[in-house]
Amino acid sequence: MNEQQRKEMSQIRQGNPADVKSEQDNLERIKNKKPDDFVKYFQTTYETPNLNKARKRGKQDIKYHEDFTIPDELQNIGQGKKYLIRTYGCQMNEHDTEVMAGILTELGFESTSDANEADIILLNTCAIRENAENKVFGELGHLKPLKQNRPDLILGVCGCMSQEESVVNKILEKHQHVDLIFGTHNIHRLPQLIQEAIFGKEMVVEVWSKEGDVIENLPKARNGKTKAWVNIMYGCDKFCTYCIVPMTRGKERSRRPEDIIQEIRHLAAQGYQEVTLLGQNVNAYGKDLADMDYGLGDLMDEIRKIDIPRVRFTTSHPRDFDDRLIEVLAKGGNLMPYIHLPVQSGSSEVLKRMNRKYTRESYLELVRKIKKAIPHAALTTDIIVGFPNETEEQFEETMTLYEEVGFEGAYTFIYSPREGTPAAKKEDNVPMDVKKQRLYRLNERVNQYSREALKKYQDQVVDVLVEGESKNNPDVLAGYTPESKLVNFRGPKSVIGKIVKVKITNTKSWTLDGEMAEEAVEVN
């Protein structure tokens, strides 16, 4: 939400006093409720996420459903109404938003980007970093006047934050204007939850502390017809000590390969140019399929035969990046030579404290294998600085590893504790000024290596999948190379959604400038 929208919201006329009083009575009833009143929504685990219990969880309660349908009595519940979803966090959240948008569309709702005309507003939240959580609570504060002036507005909080007990308690205590709270495991129940929120008089809370099921045939409202996200699995079993995802997303559970392949074939038939396979730990795909020996390499070997120009996957865990996957990626074709491989730290000691279950040496050996099989592959990574007890020497190991691998880009973060994780119990004993100084030094190296990596594209002709207009200049088009490098160039709008040849005329730290090659101009 921008400042202008906030100003507009503050100028909305007051509603009917009787409606406001009714809403205040409703909020007072919710305020008087105790956490115990909501135990049923968390089944038997209404408590801070417990690592030991989570490690012992089984797969026996995970079910596979292929029959998602919207009940007849709810088909037109959104007729004449509009929805707005604000998304925070990763591509998985973006994809969850597409699913919720698809469900809302089938219910009869129309999309809007204007909070003032929305009848339902959902905040799809992220629990990875404290900053993301703060943004959501800030947004709830900004939306409160709108809710007070329009009591019929349904305001909901969903996503990973909703799976945390502390977050739900904070909403119950300080944000009683929220109508609806639901988590990551029950998106398929959105029609019923909206019905309860519309016709009920109290806050609707439904958060399942279970492993989650696999639900097929969920509708999706995808953005555009160029790139598509395809979930191939859910959850994570790695239990990195700084990460809340295993508790918010549940155990690793894979979709059946035939369902994934059918979805991608359908996208290809619709004209999509690129699909990205998604999973919290995407290359653990298939490890839970008890009736077959089938992994991500096998899946991608089948997908590469589908007539779709580009296929990517994210996000990988080094521990599960096996030789079979490398072998298949080396076949090339529509499998893009871009690999995001989070290392988090270059120190084996820090990696051990993070519970990453690999060492600096084994990570470098994996990189060696990848580069030998795919010499032109572009590698990027994630790095956390200032993890508890990280010494200057251990940070320097991260710096030297970055140099040894020759990463072409990185997402870098200062460590901040997340409630409910083992690392949060440790003293956050690296001073903030030291963390910031280390991040600055790391980013200097990241920028340097990115600039060097892009220089090799000077005067080269590259294939660019054109996604649309540049954010900074509507007269300039923007798209990505197979190695996921952003290219800006001038060309006709008719090439948006197509792959065209672009000659690189200038290289920068993070982007490339170019001009359409003569052959591309002639074709179009």
**pLDDT averages per 10-residue partition of the chain, 524 residues:** 36 33 47 49 41 57 74 88 92 89 94 95 85 86 93 92 80 88 86 88 74 78 90 91 85 93 96 95 94 96 97 96 98 98 98 97 98 97 97 98 98 90 92 97 98 97 96 93 97 96 97 84 45
Q: Say whether 158 counts as a known binding-site residue.
A: no
Euclidean distance between CA atoms 479 and 487, whole angstroms: 5
3 state SS of 142 = helix
3 state SS of 377 = coil
User: For the whole prediction, is pTM greater than 0.95?
Assistant: no
What is the per-residue pLDDT for 297? 98
Going from the C-alpha of 273 to that of each of 227, 268, 276, 497, the distances in angstroms are 6, 7, 11, 7
Enter the tokens of residue 345.
């730290």
Euclidean distance between CA atoms 117 and 86, whole angstroms: 15
Contact yes or no for 140/176 (Cβ under 8 A): no
Contact yes or no for 263/230 (Cβ under 8 A): yes
Start-to-end CA distance of the chain, whole Å, equals 38
Element (H, E) at 98: helix 91-106
What is the per-residue pLDDT for 206? 77
Residues with Cβ within 8 Å of 81's Cβ and at least 6 positions away in sequence, in order, are 108, 109, 110, 119, 120
What is the per-residue pLDDT for 28? 53
Bridge partners, residue 230, by sequence: 277
Euclidean distance between CA atoms 3 and 6, whole angstroms: 5
What is the per-residue pLDDT for 518? 64
